[in-house]
Structure 1
Amino acid sequence: MGLLGWTRRDVPSLAGKVALVTGANSGIGFELTRQLVEHGAEVVMVGRDKQLLDWAARDLEEEFPGARVESTAREILSTKLPINILVNNAGRFVDAPFCVTPDGFEQTLASNYFGHALLTLMLLDRIAASGPGARIVNVSSPAEQYATADLDDITLFQIMFNHELHRRLRLEGRDIDCFAVHPGMVATGLSNKVSFCHPSAVAIYAAMRLSGQSPLQGAQSALFAATAPQLRGKGGAYIGPLYATNTFHAHERYPVNRAAYDYETCVKLFNRTAAELARALGHDVPVPPAVGARVPV
C-alpha cells in the first residue's frame, strides 16, 4: 500500500464530518486541523493551553469564514455528537528531566501513549456512532526503527496498541480503521523545548532545525491516514515518509522491530495498558473484547 503521487490536493470533501485533533494549537496539529477545515470538516481542537487553542481557532475562522471550529472538547464530550475522525497528535519530546505524574506514569509515556490510549477507548462508542468508515489516527515518530526487543520505546507501544485495537474492532464487526503514522523529521516548536540534560538532545535539536520539514509537510502522513478513501478497510497499517528523504508521506512503513507484528506481545501490551489505566482511574475502562481467532491486520 502506498501512493507516491498523493498530495493534500487529493483530500476529498469532508463536509458533514466531525474530527477531533489533539495538540491542535500549533505545529503538525494546527496544520492538520487547517487542512481538515479547508476541506469542509468540523474540527474540535484539543490541547493543554485553552488560550492558545482559542487563538488558533480564531485564526482558522478568519481564514475560512463559516468554518466550524471548536477550541475545546467539552462540547463534543458532553453531547452525543459523533466523531468521524480522531487524531491523537499531542505529545512531548525530550523536553524535561525525568518526572513521574501523580498517577505514577513517566511524564512522556503518560502524554504520548497512555493519554492517547485512554482518549481513544473512551471515545470508541462515539466514533462507532459516526457510521461506516470512521478513522483513528495515532501520530508518533520514526523512532521505532531504533527500539529494542524489550519494548522500551513509546512509538513501538503506539504501533502495537494500534494493531491490537484494530484487530479487536474487526472482531466486533465495527467499521473503524486504525492507523499509526509518523511525520518524519519536522522542525516544529518541539525543537525549542528540547532539554539539553538528555544525552542525545544536541543531535536531536540539530537534526530537527537543520533538516526538518515544515509542520505543513509533517502533517501529510496523518492527513492521508485520516482522509484517503483508498485506505477504507486497510486499518492496522503504519504510514509515514521514507526515513532517508522525508518524502512520499502516503507510504506504508514496516517497523524494524519484529515485536510490532507479534500477536501475543501486542495482546499483552494492550491488556497491560488497559490495566494500568484502570489502576490510575480507579475503575475499568471500556475495552473491546479479544474474542474469536486471530485476524490478520
Structure 2
Amino acid sequence: MEKEILFTIAIPVYNGEKSLSRAIESVLNQDYDSDYEVLIVNNASTDHTEEIIEKFHDGKIKVVNNKETVSQFENHNICLKNASGKYILFCHSDDELYPIALSVLSKELKRLDYPTRFIIWGHSLFRDFSWALRQAKLPINQVFSGEAAYSAFAFGGLTPSGTCYSRKSLLEIGGFPLMKHRRQPNDWSILWITAFNGFEYEMIDRLILKRLDATTAARDISFTDTLFVNRLCMRELFKTLNERQIEIVKSTICGMNPNYSFPLFKEYIPKKRRIRFYISRFIRHPRAWRQTIQLIKC
C-alpha cells in the first residue's frame, strides 16, 4: 500500500503571471527531506499563467486547469479535492513560502502526533494573525479550541495562504463556503465553521510566509463596502449554523469587537443601546464623524 504523503502545497491561481514564478520556486525549494506534493489549480486564467506553469511542469507538479473561472474559495475547494496530502498548505500565487515552512510545520505536527481536525500557521510579513490572538489574550505556540477559538475569531479571519489544514477533515465538513460576492471574507466564515466542528488551532512563532501584498486586501474598498461584505458574510454563515451557534457568534463579536458588531448585527441590538454607542463614538472620535454616520446608515 502506497504511503500517504504528509503535505500538499497548493497554489490556486488566477491571472498570476507577474508573481507566479516566484511562488512556484518557493514551494519547490523547501528545506524538507521527505516527499511532498505540489498542486497548481489554474482558475481559467486569461493571461500567460498557463505558459508559466508549463515551464515548471516536469512531473514534480500536479496541475489542474479549470474549464471556467470559479470563485476564489470554490477554487480552494478544488485544491482540497485534488490534493493527496494528509495536510494541505496553501500558497497564493502572489505569495512565497520560506524554505523552512514544511520542516517547521512537520516538526510541530509530529510533536502533536499528527492531529486531525487541525489548523496551524505561522508569522507572515503582511496580514499577520498575531494581532487577533493578542486581542483575545491567547498565546502563540499553544493549541487552542472551543471557547478560546471563538474569541480568537471575533476580529476576522485567517487568510488561507500560509495556513496548513487537515485536508480530509476540512472536506468532511464541506470545505470552504462559497461566495456570494467576490470580496466576501469566507476566510472568516471557515474559522467559525471549523470551531463549531471541533477543530483545534495553533500559531507557531516562526516566519514561514513571505507576503508583501495581497490581492484580497484591496486598497480601493471603502469603509461602507467593507461593512457590506462583512454583513453578507455573517448572513451566509448563519444559514449553516444552529440557533445556539448563531448566538455564540453574535455575543462573542459584540463583546470583543463593538465597532464591527453594531453594523454586523444592528437588527439584533436594541435601539437604545445602538443610540448610546453612536453618541459615545461621536464623543470619543469626533474627527471620524463621517465614518460614524456611515455606521448609522449601513
Q: TM-score range by the shorter chain?
A: 0.3 to 0.5
Structure (1 or 2) with the greater strand fraction: 2
Give me the TM-score of the superposition, normalised by structure 2: 0.33
Give me the TM-score of the superposition, normalised by structure 1: 0.33
Larger radius of gyration: 2
